Amino acid sequence: MKKIICILVATMMMAFGSICNASDSSDLSSEQKTAQLFIDAFKGEKVPAYDVLSRNFSDGLKNQFKEANYSGLQRNIKNTFGTLTEDKFYIYQRQEQNDIVAYNVTFDSNKQAQLIFVFDKDQKLVNVAVQPINTQQQSE
């Protein structure tokens, strides 16, 4: 009888634990889809029209990042870094009001950078940053 009670209690504890476990996978998945649109642009692939991409922008970003900026973005990244050749998911960090999704990327010019995407609590893109990684400082 004690064994049955112990098994029942253990089963209930595991069931309760899985109910309490929070899952952010759907948030991360939708945020990665938005980030992938920018990554595709930096790879030189065909990217969607500004109207499609801006659906995932917060109101503040829509005011700052107009269609003219979008059309020159791919060209500016290509001139500064080159064409993106490799991207690796680096980190997903949930904060109180924002989520941060970052990728480590390598360009054909052997330059490395980190693409940082900041999303609000509604999975709307708030900011995008390209942070160069100085490989000379890391190797010393």
99-113 pLDDT, tens per residue?
999 999 999 988 899
Tell me the pLDDT band of 136, cut-offs 50, 70 and 90: low
Query: pLDDT tens digits, residue range 63-90?
Result: 888 888 877 888 888 888 988 999 999 9
In this prediction, residue 91 carries a pLDDT of 93
Residue 18 has pLDDT above 50, yes or no: yes
Sequence ranges of the domains in the chain = 30-132
Q: Could you give phi then psi for residue 46, rounded to 5 degrees?
A: -65, 130
In this prediction, residue 140 carries a pLDDT of 45
Specify whether domain 30-132 bears CATH 3.90.870.10.
Answer: no
Q: Which residues touch 135 (CB under 8 Å, ≥6 apart)?
A: 112
